[in-house]
Amino acid sequence: MKLNELNDQLSDNSIEERLENLSNIFPGKIIFTTSLGIEDQVITHLIFKNNLNIKVATLDTGRLFPQTYDVLSNTIIRYGKKIDVYFPDYEDVEKMVTEKGPLSFYKSVENRKECCGIRKVVPLNRALNGMECWISGIRADQSDNRHQLDWLEFDENKNIYKFYPLFNWSFDDVTRFVKENNIPYNSLHDKGFVSIGCEPCTRAIKPGEDFRAGRWWWENDGPKECGLHS
Ligand code: SF4
């Protein structure tokens, strides 16, 4: 199906209808990758609550916050569903850490991208292998970069449709929905963390700071992205 046909078919749907219709259009070939952040918990809730045939997967980089593992555990218990966990290749991690140390990402952008590549991008590509539709919790107002996206796209590089169910939601919309539906979420969100990634590369933001300012804060220029969505 072409992007414009898919767009026409789904544009008048609610979020839940879009998820269900896509799960029927791409049976067995649709995946949601969750970072276990608060936006992604909304989508996980909608998929699991409605028993949709959508694979839910997450990347364990080996450097996540303990609170993120709490979310993973609490979510599995709450919904009684499976979340596929993808780890990096241990030989690549061993080589990088042995040669460059455990904190190489602070030393240069190149090193940081190498670490994100090994711990995130390669496992992600493994998760996406054979999939035709990829769901992500990206919202437009998370950054200027993300503002340029659309709620439904075709990624030529990865040869996959991408659907952002919460594209037009604000952070307040997300937190309200999570509270109203008693959805498990990362307790760090209550301490000023908005976008939560790996522990050494994430910090809380101050009022008025950009949403992604707490990620790789020592890098001043360029988009705050790890390569998952580029
Ligand atoms: S966010 Fe930091 S620790 Fe995590 S993969 Fe990227 S550079 Fe490595």
pLDDT in tens, 61-82: 999 999 999 999 999 999 999 9
Determine which residue's CA is closest to atom 6 belonging to ligand 1.
116
> Which pLDDT band, with edges at 50, 70 and 90, does 207 fall under?
confident
Residue 223 to residues 1, 4, 145, 229, Cα–Cα distance (Å):
32, 28, 7, 11
Atom number in ligand 1 closest to CA 226: 6
In terms of C-beta density within 10 A (0-12 exposed, 13-18 middle, 19 or more buried), how is residue 60 classed?
middle
CB–CB of 136/229 below 8 Å?
A: yes
Ligand 1 centre distance from Cα of residue 198 (Å) = 6
Cβ of 120 closer than 6 Å to ligand 1, yes or no, is yes
User: Which segments of 109-151 are extended strands (E)?
Assistant: 133-135
Does 116 participate in catalysis according to the annotation? no
pLDDT at 35 over 90: yes
The pLDDT assigned to 29 comes to 98
Q: Whose CA is nearest to atom 1 of ligand 1?
A: 198
Q: How confident is the model at residue 23 (pLDDT cuts 50, 70, 90)?
A: very high
Q: Please give the model's pTM, rounded to 2 decimal places.
A: 0.92
The protein residue whose alpha carbon is closest to atom 2 in ligand 1 is 201
> Is the CB–ligand 1 distance for residue 105 below 6 Å?
yes
Q: What pLDDT was estimated at residue 215?
A: 86
